[in-house]
Structure 1
Amino acid sequence: MQQRPGIQGPPPGCPAHANVPVYGPQFGSDPDSHYEYLRTLGPSAPVDVAPDVQVELVTNYDAALYILQNPASFVRDSRRWNALNQGRVPEDSPALPMMGYRPNALFSDGAAHARLRQAVTDSLASVNELQLVRQTQQSADYLISRFSTDRLGQAELMADYAQPLPLLVFSDLFGCPPEIGDRVIVGISGIFDGTPNADQVLGEALAELIALKRRRPGQDLTTRLMEHSAGLTDEEVLHQLVTLLSGGTAPLSAAIGTSSALILDEEWQTGLPIEDAVTRVLWNYAPIANYAAHYPTHDVELGGRTLRANDPVLISFAAANTDPRLAEHREQLSAKAHLAFGAGPHACPAKDPAFMIAVTAVESLLNRLPDVEVRVPFKDLSWVPAPWSRSLVTLPVRFTPRVVAPTPAQAQAPQAASPAAPMAATATPRPAATSAAKPKAGMFSRFLAWTRGE
């Protein structure tokens, strides 16, 4: 197989007998070349997902499906992880927050998994689709209103739009009051940004939310989880909420950002539905790139390699979706045959709502800013150098600024300080400053105030 210029044999900086690193700037700038090289080693190959953290990475579509659909031989409980149990994984490794065990459906198997997953899927199924679209549109309108009046007509869509939008939608779905919603957003954002104590902030906020719903149940996802017949404990509810947040917000942000960049690129065929852009992203730029650690319950032979019992096997959804062996069959495959949402018993339970949110977000952007265009060609955009996700670092755009008519109060404001009465503004003394100033409202508080017209 012909190699791309970026990788001849083992990737640069990787000795012939060392693992291929699938993290860092070199990997982030061209992951496809890394996957291309790894495919020459077989359906799977040993890689490092962080310093001193080795996993077997599956790059073949059929092999990935085999593992995802074979829970008898491949389980998700990371407490089996040999290297971790033997103290060979650094305590501060960035791989631990992504691969370490949590008591949720994602890391459970058998009856425990079935119980937790049923509670999640049933609760998600009760979400009204029209309501979800309206929530997404409202969140989109709010975020666009914040940057669309920029006098230069410029914005950075990842930070200003794609990243905060799922957080607003989920906070609303969870039934968060303003102050708790603010801390949920700070906590989950901090986890992905590596902010110290972010997990504690998120955990405390969700614990308060659950306690609130015990006292005052509502028509929201949190209450539905708590009232489900599976009888989840408060701790179990908390961990399912964390899973929904972490598994939903970051991948959704990536999908919204990449889909927007793709459809705004000059090479995109005008007139194609937004759904096509999102589907192409799921196939070619899988938001969750390398994840879903499985642990063989026994040694398994796969394409000439032995997958050792209890050594982690990660699925490269990105590599499997772009497997060259699929090229000749893509015409016959369903548009939904990609593995961006996984497959088998642990497939994403929210794939339909996630797709709907992504499409609605891109549609809202194009409707509100019809002349928006990217300032950097799609091929020159930078990607986050992490193994787990395929997400743009930034997405700079330009547009015609919106002109907002002043409110009646704003229109009258200059008259109050006319030259004829220069001292009028000081006629009434200001109240003394209090020692404890009111804290600045967070993103969710400001969003809710905006929806009320405040």
Structure 2
Amino acid sequence: MTTPEPEAPAVPPPGCPMHAAGGPSAGPAQLYGASVSDDPHGLYARLREQHGPVAPIELEPGVEAWLVLGYPELLELTRNEQLFSKDSRRWRVPAEGRLKPDSRLLPMTSWRPTLLNLDGAEHQRLRGAVAQTLGRIDHRQLRETTEAAANSLIDSWGPDGTADLIAQYARRLPLLVFTQLLGLPAEMGPHLIELISHFVDSSEKSVRANAEFQAILTDLVRRRRAEPGADLTSWLLAHQAAMTDEEALHHLVVILVAGNETTINWTGNTLRLLLTDRRFRSTLAGGRLTVADALEEVLWRDPPTQNFPGRWATGDTVLGGQYISAGDMLVLGLAAANADPSVHAGDNIAGNRAHLAWGAGRHVCPAQHPARLIVETALETLLHRLPDLQLAVPANELAWRPSPWSRALVSLPVLYSAFTPPRAAAPERPSWTPPTPSLPSPSTPSDATSTERTADSGKPARRSWWNSLAGWWSGR
């Protein structure tokens, strides 16, 4: 796909979001606060109707950007580094003095020497280091570590048969695993959770939290440079890419924030689906779908990262019928692109991995396979231990965090049998290996590095705990 040469409009001036298709009355929508947390799907549908596949938005008052809602347009955005760079130093809003020094957007948009902010050969050097470092993780050991951490959390719950699956499970579990992977002390986990939450949510404490978080990791890099261990930090420092301490520091931030936050939200959103959607839970318990299918359903409908900053235009151009000016920010609307009616295959998406939850192009997420293994193990362990989980509040009372980037629940209160049987030994299972990519259907556009379909014949065997889950659900 090639990007059309920019046309020369008589009016308005190129790239002015206030004068996008639809006129001033259809100006930028707020991509912050209640507008994006209460009903994001409704917001994206309205923006698509008003503006088409690329819509003008505000990230905070007076800070405009473009939200890419279309599936083909998002693929074009992520593939064309010549026109759409990852280098946030190109952003004209701060260059024009319009970004406040204490802006909540800074932690997620500031330039860092990482694979997230670079293009070309330098990006490939750093991405290779991260991907190969993650590739050294022993998947069997990772599954065992995750299962042990999950069982420890479940065992710590009180005897009253109640729990908050966000605060007491989804938010705690990944850091228990990631601290071991990176070589951090396990007791650091709760504090890291708090710090990450502040700057991912772009809260009023985000700038201070970001500074403290980086100080912790700076100390870790210094210690591992002096005394290497069998952990991701040491492997990253030893990689042939020869990262500096500063580069290693910022890539640890990427691994922890992106990996941890995605894992938390993916776990919570899948549990919500199982507990609130009778159709899906009934189908799942009936034996036709597995945990892997449930995870894929969430990646399509409620991906853990719903929007991601971003790309910056290197020159004046046109995308999705909108005039984009040099220096404009473009936000990847991952959830919106997944719902693009021009390419969506309808409700039958089981086994279809052509979604854009992991991004696309050369910047597709390199940590998706370890993340999938952690989340799948977390869900299987929880449902094996507590097969009678049920929501403790009406589904419409569940609240979402007011983040423009993450799709994450505030809490997920549940009830379960207070007296559970002794923990059974985990069933023996084969080592996990990444799925083999295959081509998507001809009707669905795809990026070879980020989208795939899996055949039904490749689905894993049914887990023994499905029988108890099915028995409980059939009585409801």
Same fold (TM over 0.5): yes
Give matches, 1:7-46, under 5 Å: 16-40=25-49, 41-46=51-56
Of stretches 228-237 and 199-208 in structure 1, the one that deviates more from structure 2 is 199-208
Which protein has the larger Cα radius of gyration, Structure 1 or Structure 2? 1
Which residue in the other structure is 2:163 paired with? 155
Q: Tell me if 1:47 matches 2:47.
A: no
Amino acid at match of 1:68: T
Please give the alpha-carbon distance, in whole angstroms, between the structure 2 residues aligned to 1:43 and 1:403: 50
Give matches, 1:7-406, under 5 Å: 16-40=25-49, 41-147=51-157, 149-151=158-160, 153-178=161-186, 184-185=192-193, 187-192=195-200, 194=203, 195=205, 197-265=208-276, 266-267=278-279, 268=281, 269=283, 270=285, 271=287, 272-328=289-345, 335-378=352-395, 380-402=397-419
Amino acid at match of 1:357: I
Q: Aligned with 1:48: secondary structure?
A: strand
Amino acid at match of 1:33: G
The RMSD of aligned alpha carbons is: 2.3
Please give the alpha-carbon distance, in whole angstroms, between the structure 1 residues aligned to 2:147 and 2:316: 49
Of stretches 221-230 and 183-192 in structure 1, the one that deviates more from structure 2 is 183-192
Please give the alpha-carbon distance, in whole angstroms, between the structure 1 residues aligned to 2:420 and 2:47: 52
Q: Aligned with 2:269: secondary structure?
A: helix
Q: Aligned with 1:16: secondary structure?
A: helix
Q: CA deviation at 1:24?
A: 1.1
Q: Aligned with 1:56: secondary structure?
A: strand
Please give the alpha-carbon distance, in whole angstroms, between the structure 2 residues aligned to 1:334 and 1:368: 26
Whether the 8 Å contact between 2:200 and 2:406 is mirrored in structure 1 is no
Please give the alpha-carbon distance, in whole angstroms, between the structure 2 residues aligned to 1:255 and 1:63: 25
Change over 3 Å in CA distance of 1:38–1:258 after alignment to 2: same
Amino acid at match of 1:344: G
Change over 3 Å in CA distance of 1:281–1:332 after alignment to 2: closer
Q: CA deviation at 1:330?
A: 7.4
Please give the alpha-carbon distance, in whole angstroms, between the structure 1 residues aligned to 2:200 and 2:309: 17
CA deviation vs aligned residue, 1:279-305 (integer Å, no higher than 9, x gap): 111000011111131012121212321
Please give the alpha-carbon distance, in whole angstroms, between the structure 2 residues aligned to 1:210 and 1:287: 28
Query: 5+ unaligned residues in a row in structure 1: which ranges?
Result: 1-14, 406-454
Please give the alpha-carbon distance, in whole angstroms, between the structure 1 residues aligned to 2:97 and 2:257: 27
Whether the 8 Å contact between 1:51 and 1:93 is mirrored in structure 2 is no
Whether the 8 Å contact between 1:19 and 1:48 is mirrored in structure 2 is yes
Q: CA deviation at 1:333?
A: 9.7
Change over 3 Å in CA distance of 1:297–1:214 after alignment to 2: same
Please give the alpha-carbon distance, in whole angstroms, between the structure 2 residues aligned to 1:176 and 1:224: 14
Q: CA deviation at 1:306?
A: 1.0
The number of residue pairs the alignment matches comes to 390
Of stretches 199-208 and 251-260 in structure 1, the one that deviates more from structure 2 is 199-208
Please give the alpha-carbon distance, in whole angstroms, between the structure 1 residues aligned to 2:391 and 2:398: 10
- TM-score normalised to structure 1 length: 0.81
Please give the alpha-carbon distance, in whole angstroms, between the structure 2 residues aligned to 1:385 and 1:177: 30
Query: 5+ unaligned residues in a row in structure 2: which ranges?
Result: 1-23, 423-476
Of stretches 355-364 and 224-233 in structure 1, the one that deviates more from structure 2 is 355-364
Q: Aligned with 2:357: secondary structure?
A: coil
Amino acid at match of 1:154: T
Identity between Structure 1 and Structure 2 (%): 40
Q: Aligned with 2:56: secondary structure?
A: strand
Q: CA deviation at 1:227?
A: 0.2
CA deviation vs aligned residue, 1:73-93 (integer Å, no higher than 9, x gap): 211110010011111122222
Whether the 8 Å contact between 1:57 and 1:314 is mirrored in structure 2 is yes
Please give the alpha-carbon distance, in whole angstroms, between the structure 2 residues aligned to 1:332 and 1:383: 25
Amino acid at match of 1:325: S
Please give the alpha-carbon distance, in whole angstroms, between the structure 1 residues aligned to 2:410 and 2:195: 20
Q: Aligned with 1:105: secondary structure?
A: coil
Amino acid at match of 2:302: Y
Change over 3 Å in CA distance of 1:366–1:243 after alignment to 2: same
